[in-house]
Amino acid sequence: MSKQVIKTYCGKICEQEGLGKPKISVRNSTKTSWGLCYTHIDDSNTIRLNKGMLLHPKLLKKYCGVDLFDVLLHEVAHLKHSRHDKEFWDYHKQLLKKYSKLKKEFMREFTK
Ligand SMILES: [Zn+2]
C-alpha cells in the first residue's frame, strides 16, 4: 500500500539524517485545494499528508510542479527547520540532491 511505501522511505531518510522517527498520518483533507500542497509537522512529530496527493501523484505534479517525493523531503526538512527560511530551503535542496537516487526508486515503487 502506498502509505507503507511513504513510511519506509521517510524512515530511511530520517534515520540517515538523524531526525528520529516521525509518525506519518495520511488523511482526507477537507481543503481540497491543490495549492495547499503541504501539510505540516506538529509538535507530536507527525508528518501529515493529504490523501489526495497519494492517490493522484500526477495531479500533484501537474498543479504544484512537484513530485510526491519532493513533498516528503519538504516535510522531512521541517523536522529540522520549522519555518520557510533560508536555512530550510538550503536544507531542502541538499536533501533533494542527496536522495535523488532514492527518489527514482521511490517514484518507481509508487507508480507501479
Ligand atoms: Zn513547508
How many domains does the chain contain in total?
1
CA of 40 to the centre of ligand 1 (A): 6
Does 112 fall in a domain?
no
CA of 5 to the centre of ligand 1 (A): 21
CA of 76 to the centre of ligand 1 (A): 10
Does 31 fall in a domain?
yes
Domain, as residue range, for 98: 2-107
Does 55 fall in a domain?
yes
Q: Determine contact, residues 110/3, Cβ cutoff 8 Å.
A: no
Query: pLDDT at position 103, please?
Result: 96
Query: pLDDT at position 111, please?
Result: 72
Does 17 fall in a domain?
yes
Mean pLDDT, each 10-residue run in order, the chain (112 residues): 84 93 77 45 71 82 86 89 90 97 91 70
**Tell me, what CATH number does 87's domain have?**
3.30.2010.10
CA of 84 to the centre of ligand 1 (A): 6
Query: pLDDT at position 35, please?
Result: 34
Does 69 fall in a domain?
yes
Whole-prediction pTM: 0.84
CA of 112 to the centre of ligand 1 (A): 28
CA of 67 to the centre of ligand 1 (A): 15
Q: Determine contact, residues 72/12, Cβ cutoff 8 Å.
A: no
